[in-house]
Amino acid sequence: MVHLTINGIPVEVEEGTTILEAARKINIDIPTLCFLKDINEVGDCRMCVVEVEGNRGFATACIQKVAEGMVVKTSTPAVIEARKIVLDLILSNHDRECLTCTRNGTCELQKLAQEFYVDEIKYQGSRNRHKIDDISPSIVRDFNKCILCRRCVATCKNVQGIGAIDCVNRGFESCISTVENKSLNDVNCTFCGQCIEACPVGALKEKDSTEIVWSKLRDEDTYVVVQTAPAVRAALGEEFGMPIGTNVTGKMVSALKHLGFDKVFDTNTGADFTIIEEGNEFLERFKNNGVLPMITSCSPGWVKYIEMNYPELIPHLSSCKSPHQMFGALIKTYFAEKEKIDPAKIFVVSVMPCIAKKFERTRDDMQGAGYDDVDAVLTTRELARMIKQAHINFVDLEDSKFDSPMGEATGAGAIFGVTGGVMEAALRTVQEKVTGNAFEKLEYESIRGMDGIKRAEVDMNGTKVKVVVASGLKNAQIIMEEIKSGKADYQFVEIMACPGGCIMGGGQPIRTSKERSTIDIRGKRASALYSIDEKSIIRKSHENPVVKKIYEEYLGEPGGHKAHELLHTTYVKREKYNLGE
Ligand code: SF4
Ligand code: SF4
Ligand code: SF4
């Protein structure tokens, strides 16, 4: 252990601790900008400078390790002045358009400018001008607001193992770019959106879909149906100041009804269809020596990744569409027929924790009924924006229920939003189908938790099935290399592009670097979904009465002709470009 004092307060910490961590231990706040715990610890921006007795000059608290007897001062006039200069320099080359910026109110730079009372721009000089990249269906990059903190670069490279972006050029010309400065649309980006979650400012954001949704809601001739993914309800409340991990299902449904959607459906029901189809596909492959391991396909960032990086492994991917695409196809067919609505007049909006879903809906073979399965994807953040625009008092809303006839979902559908959830939901159905026994215990503890890779073996009447669950694309890469080299003996693989699963998707509320360092955001959001599952009366997808009815009345057998036409898709080999290749 090492002993030191910070602002006169003694503190004891383990050797190797940084000054920043030691200060946080005794509730002393040191501002940071480029720092992102375990991801970007480079000490570049120098916002966290502190004075250390005996040191010449300042120390950078986010990387400087503590030493025995160290005397640290975090808020002397000299320190405050130094931090103000850092801010003045950043702001001198920044597009200061706070009023029209997505991050107005949640921007870490704006907050620091307020705290340090920056009431004028000190240094006026040349400014870099960058072209805005808004070509992709998922991400908009405006580097006129970039502060070169590199949190996005480190996230893309170190967490996702992709390296679609990097810092190029030197000095005043430095900027974040892609190979040959192409649009993100034309490089090896998966649209996972983890860089947006990492960015402290408004340089990265999702492609806006609120305008088109508002216009459809205004149009009396359009029947607007909305569906909401499991992970949205575990995080939407955060946008309204509610504690992380609050389940806001009822309020969310009320808000959507207030906004004027004609029907509010639950994508959890779509997830139940996915389990039926995916479970059936797995059993077919398992019994008939099909391509194994079978890999889940509900995370579109992951699907784009395998198409670009491991096209030879595409036959391993389940042909199932993701839950919202399946559900969209059913809304435009089964629901439209039942309610006698012309499907051409139905506009399906999916509220998702994910920005890759914006890309997914535009893929070929996502038009099961001859129309786009889904017409617009809103992120959790965009839905929050619409609720705020409508001045709905979200926190005080009464709870409402999803609409029938497609509103009933199971606990299995709810846990789709967390890493391991798809596998657990599938095993509940597959194990019962194989063994013929109804299991009392439905929790598969070995594939729960936030580890990046989780391996387990499931006994099905004496037959062992090896499964593996991975979240985050760097972990996915490890599993793909195992499969490619022939070392893997798994039968079933679940992959989610985002670390922790959809609860941590690129469309979820953005939390600050400090919150990411000090709060178990993943754990809290995951608990919200597991508790929905625990409280559900029906916890297995194959017992969902809505699902059973639609198969009986409309789809026929799981994996049958109609189910294939509406609920399955195909994949393509994609070109991959990478920096340095
Ligand atoms: S990035 Fe932050 S400081 Fe810059 S314009 Fe947007 S809100 Fe304002
Ligand atoms: S969206 Fe994902 S893959 Fe694309 S640049 Fe951002 S972090 Fe990298
Ligand atoms: S885009 Fe955002 S995260 Fe990336 S370097 Fe610029 S400010 Fe930092």
Q: Which ligand is nearest to the CA of 203?
A: 3
111 falls within a domain: no
Looking at residue 276, what is its pLDDT?
A: 96
Same-domain pairing of 183 and 217? no
Q: Which of 191, 206, 221 is the last residue of a domain?
A: 206
**Taking 90 as the threshold, does the pLDDT of residue 109 lie above it?**
yes
580 falls within a domain: no
Alpha helices of 363-505 — where are they, by DSSP H?
A: 380-389, 411-414, 421-435, 473-484
Ligand 2 atom 8: the closest Cα is on which residue? Answer: 156
Residue type, 384: A
Looking at residue 4, what is its pLDDT?
A: 97
Q: Which of 206, 230, 261 is the last residue of a domain?
A: 206
d(CA 7, ligand 3 centre) in Å = 32
Looking at residue 566, what is its pLDDT?
A: 97
Q: Probe ligand 2: pick from 165, 304, 577, max atoms within 8 Å of CB? A: 165
- The minimum-distance atom of ligand 2 relative to the CA of 165 is 5
Ligand 3 atom 7: the closest Cα is on which residue? Answer: 146
**Which tens digits make up the pLDDT trace of 358-399?**
999 999 999 988 999 999 999 999 999 999 999 999 999 999
Q: Which ligand is nearest to the CA of 161?
A: 2
Ligand 1 — pocket residues by CB below 6 A? 94, 96-98, 101, 103-104, 107, 109-110, 145, 201-202
d(CA 499, ligand 2 centre) in Å = 13
- The minimum-distance atom of ligand 3 relative to the CA of 167 is 5
324 falls within a domain: yes
Distance CA 415, CA 229 (A): 10
DSSP line for 354-374: -SHHHHHTTSTT--TTSS-S-
Distance CA 19, CA 54 (A): 15
103 falls within a domain: no
**Rounded to 5 degrees, what are φ and ψ at 197?**
-60, -30
Q: Probe ligand 2: pick from 160, 179, 185, 477, max atoms within 8 Å of CB? A: 160
* Listed residue (102, 199, 84) closest to 147, CA to CA: 199
**Which tens digits make up the pLDDT trace of 323-354?**
999 999 999 999 999 999 999 999 999 999 99
**Taking 50 as the threshold, does the pLDDT of residue 580 lie above it?**
no
d(CA 194, ligand 3 centre) in Å = 12
**Taking 60 as the threshold, does the pLDDT of residue 579 lie above it?**
no
Ligand 2 — pocket residues by CB below 6 A? 139, 155-156, 160, 162, 164-165, 184, 189-195
What's this model's pTM, rounded to 2 decimal places? 0.96
| Structural domains of the chain, count | 3
Q: How sure is the predictor about 56, in pLDDT bands with cuts at 50, 70 and 90?
A: confident
Q: Which of 206, 241, 272 is the last residue of a domain?
A: 206
Distance CA 451, CA 197 (A): 20
Q: How sure is the predictor about 581, in pLDDT bands with cuts at 50, 70 and 90?
A: very low
104 falls within a domain: no
Token duo for residue 111: 């907050």
* Listed residue (525, 566, 175) closest to 365, CA to CA: 566
Same-domain pairing of 202 and 229? no
pLDDT more than 90, % of the chain: 88
- The minimum-distance atom of ligand 2 relative to the CA of 194 is 7
Looking at residue 577, what is its pLDDT?
A: 63
Q: What is the DSSP letter of 335?
A: I
Q: How sure is the predictor about 534, in pLDDT bands with cuts at 50, 70 and 90?
A: very high
d(CA 198, ligand 2 centre) in Å = 10
Q: What is the DSSP letter of 177?
A: E
Same-domain pairing of 185 and 215? no
Q: Look up the CATH number of the domain holding residue 7.
A: 3.10.20.740
Say which residues have a Cβ less than 8 Å from residue 387's Cβ, sequence separation at least 6. 239, 240, 255, 259, 394
Q: On the CB side of 179, how many CA atoms lie within 13 Å of its CA?
A: 14
Distance CA 555, CA 532 (A): 28
101 falls within a domain: no
- The minimum-distance atom of ligand 2 relative to the CA of 204 is 6
Same-domain pairing of 37 and 185? no
Ligand 3 atom 2: the closest Cα is on which residue? Answer: 199
Same-domain pairing of 126 and 235? no
Same-domain pairing of 460 and 475? yes
Q: How sure is the predictor about 451, in pLDDT bands with cuts at 50, 70 and 90?
A: very high
d(CA 203, ligand 3 centre) in Å = 6
- The minimum-distance atom of ligand 1 relative to the CA of 107 is 2
Distance CA 33, CA 107 (A): 11
d(CA 259, ligand 1 centre) in Å = 28
CA distances (Å), origin 32, targets 209, 308, 506, 521: 32, 36, 22, 19
99 falls within a domain: no
**Which tens digits make up the pLDDT trace of 393-429?**
999 999 999 998 888 889 999 999 999 999 999 999 9
**Which tens digits make up the pLDDT trace of 157-182?**
999 999 999 999 888 888 999 988 99
Q: Which ligand is nearest to the CA of 45?
A: 3
**Residue-range definition of the domain harbouring residue 69:** 2-90
Q: Look up the CATH number of the domain holding residue 303.
A: 3.40.50.1780
d(CA 217, ligand 3 centre) in Å = 34
**Which tens digits make up the pLDDT trace of 204-232?**
999 999 999 999 999 999 999 999 999 99
Q: How sure is the predictor about 441, in pLDDT bands with cuts at 50, 70 and 90?
A: confident
Q: Look up the CATH number of the domain holding residue 167.
A: 3.30.70.20
Same-domain pairing of 436 and 505? yes
The bridge status of strand 9-13 relative to strand 2-6 is antiparallel
**Which tens digits make up the pLDDT trace of 490-507?**
999 999 999 999 999 999
Same-domain pairing of 261 and 401? yes
Q: Which ligand is nearest to the CA of 142?
A: 3
- The minimum-distance atom of ligand 1 relative to the CA of 103 is 7
Same-domain pairing of 409 and 480? yes
d(CA 102, ligand 3 centre) in Å = 14
d(CA 394, ligand 1 centre) in Å = 26
Q: Probe ligand 3: pick from 107, 176, 184, 205, max atoms within 8 Å of CB? A: 176
Distance CA 349, CA 267 (A): 11
Same-domain pairing of 364 and 329? yes
